[in-house]
Amino acid sequence: MKTTPQNNPELITLEQAPTLAALFRERVRRSAGRKAYVQYDSAADQWREHSWEETARQVARWQQAMRDSGLKAGERVMIMCHNAWEWVICDQATLGLGLVLVPIFMNDRAENIAWIANDCQASLLVIEGEEQWQALEPVVERLASVHTIVALRSFDAEHPRLLQLDRWLPDAGGELAEEESAPGELATIVYTSGTTGRPKGVMLSHHNILWNIHAALKLFEIAADNLFLSFLPLSHTFERTVGYYLPMVCGCAIAYNRSIPQLAEDLALIRPTLMISVPRIFERIYGRIMDKLRSEPALKQKLFQRAIDTGWQRFEYDQGRAGWSPALLLHPLLDRLVGAKVRARLGGRLRFTVCGGAALSPDVTRLFIGLGIPVQQGYGLTETSPVITANPLEDNIPASVGLPLPGIEVKLGEGEELLTRSPSVMLGYWNNPEATAEMIDDDGWLHTGDKARIDAGNHVYITGRLKEIIVLATGEKVPPADMENAIALDSLIEQVMIVGEGKPYLAALVVLNPEKFTETAARLGLDPSDRETLRNERLLDEVLERIRRQTTAFPGYAQINRVAILDEPLTPENGLLTPPLKLRRNRVLAACSKEVESLYAGH
């Protein structure tokens, strides 16, 4: 396999920093006065930059506060807050003292947090502010092992265990601690959100994570002048490894997005050069672009499509998969008229983006790549720290999830299941040796649960889930994810889940885009403020027709026959999506049982 030489003099090698805490100390030593983190200060109504040296001073203060709280090496610290400079400070303070960080998804359900706290026997819980406290208060007495709860944002509340950050921190903290656990020992426990049952605590070592980063950097050269924009939750290992620790290895700065609704604005303001994302973000941007295009004159629509087609031809030519064509002579002009304008809306400086978490639709991929925004799909699991495969810039096959990172073994097992083995594979599940044994066999192969194929060039293609298959009453088998991806490209449909296990036909649960719903309801002469409009036959027929247009390429038995429109979106907060926005199918089925029942009434 061809690897990419690293010409970045700022890069910190695995030998120079064998632990995550050593990595931070080395970065502070090398880059003390340089910009490290950028985030919005809502109180001052402005963006603020924080240097590595300033970050280190705060980490030392937190470490002293943790010592004063009686924390000892090996104890667990939970954190539940949005991506922020303080998240990094808490993490680095924890790691440097040999403590174990347990990230919790922001706004997770109180019952789930209580279960996790008791499972890992956490000693300290860091929350963002009043909203999290109000959610936790009903279960706080059940957090038996948690002796201190620290709130980053001040608010009025009294509880023996609750402290505001400014009262908990000392005025100064001295030198950074160097008391971390050994490279191969536990650094963090990440609870996977799973589709059923209680979450499992994935145990990752310093070496698991750092080895994974350095394997990825053999495929990608990342210069120190890059600026990352971080918006995926740091509680998810994809963002934590690739969007937080990897930039630290390379000497890059990170800016934190204010919120997902403000992402478009922040892209234009921050002008990042690299971005870690999931398909839903690209799909939303795609939907807005295509929706706006439909209102443009036919000539402009044709010009836009020609720019995409020519840009794609140029991409295939550059990749060595297509010959030169005279049509490529038009590429500079079309790119100036179309591609450059779209890129400007994303800040105008994106060198490439990494997409993971789920499959990205070919139409979406073609649009972004055709407009000059390289999208590199990858694949991995929390249990593998997380990256297993990625598409290099010079060998990018968008239909695949890329090549195994150098040093990572992959093979196909029974039922074409993808198996992997490497130093990135987790230490195991916390307090759950049975689940560990089910996941990792005696030869060290981790069973991903995903079906795959591997081509002659070693590119991996994910073809489905071993268990994520709908079997109709007719015996026909339908993998729902591809159909859902296709349906979600319609601008009216914000979310969709296909149902039909054991039923005579497929149906769909959908959540509509609020703005498009208002427009569509008005066009149909319906009242968008009346919730009964969601059950109006004219609206249901409109949605069903749109779904059928999006799924014409699928077999006849895989067509959607009926649709139910949900009142509320599926979110991680209500437990119906995982933090990286994957459907929790069984939970959705349980929560929407009445709607599903109505879809098959009389059958």
pLDDT over threshold 90, residue 575: no
Collapsing DSSP to helix, strand or coil, 78 comes out as: strand
pLDDT digits (tens, 9 = 90+) for 515-529: 999 999 999 999 999
Collapsing DSSP to helix, strand or coil, 103 comes out as: strand
Give the range among 195-199, 271-275, 426-430, 576-580 with minimum mean pLDDT.
195-199
CB 537 within 8 A of CB 563: no
pLDDT mean across residues, the chain: 92
Distance CA 17, CA 26 (A): 7
Both tokens assigned to 426: 């987790």
pLDDT over threshold 50, residue 194: no
Q: Which CATH architecture has domain 470-599?
A: 2-Layer Sandwich (3.30)
Q: Phi/psi at 102 (nearest 5 deg)?
A: -125, 95
CB 49 within 8 A of CB 38: yes
Q: Does domain 1-8+215-426+436-464 have CATH number 1.10.3720.10?
A: no
pLDDT digits (tens, 9 = 90+) for 578-595: 877 788 888 999 999 999
* pLDDT above 70 coverage of the chain, percent: 97
pLDDT over threshold 90, residue 565: yes
The domain ranges of the chain are: 1-8+215-426+436-464, 20-181, 470-599
Give me the mean pLDDT over the 104-130 stretch.
Answer: 91
Q: What is the pLDDT of residue 193?
A: 59
Q: Check if 1-8+215-426+436-464 and 20-181 are the same fold.
A: yes
Look at domain 20-181 and name its CATH class: alpha beta
pLDDT over threshold 60, residue 196: no
Distance CA 587, CA 576 (A): 6
pLDDT digits (tens, 9 = 90+) for 490-508: 999 999 999 998 888 999 9
Q: Which helix (H) or strand (E) holds 305?
A: helix 298-318
- Which strand ranges, in their side-by-side order, compose the sheet holding 506-512? 493-499, 506-512, 560-565
Q: What is the CB-side half-sphere exposure of residue 378 using CA atoms within 13 A? A: 28
Q: Give the pLDDT band of residue 112 (cuts 50, 70, 90).
A: confident
Buried (b) or exposed (e) across 552-566, using 16+ Cβ within 10 A? eebeeebebbbbbbb
Q: What is the pLDDT of residue 375?
A: 93
Q: Is 543 exposed, middle or buried (0-12, 13-18, 19+ CB in 10 A)?
A: buried
The DSSP annotation for 497-526 comes to EEE-TTSSSEEEEEEE-HHHHHHHHHHTT-
pLDDT digits (tens, 9 = 90+) for 208-244: 999 999 999 999 999 999 999 999 999 999 999 999 9
pLDDT digits (tens, 9 = 90+) for 47-89: 999 999 999 999 999 999 999 999 999 999 999 999 999 999 9
Distance CA 379, CA 360 (A): 11
Q: What is the pLDDT of residue 339?
A: 94
Q: What is the pLDDT of residue 195?
A: 40
Distance CA 402, CA 408 (A): 13
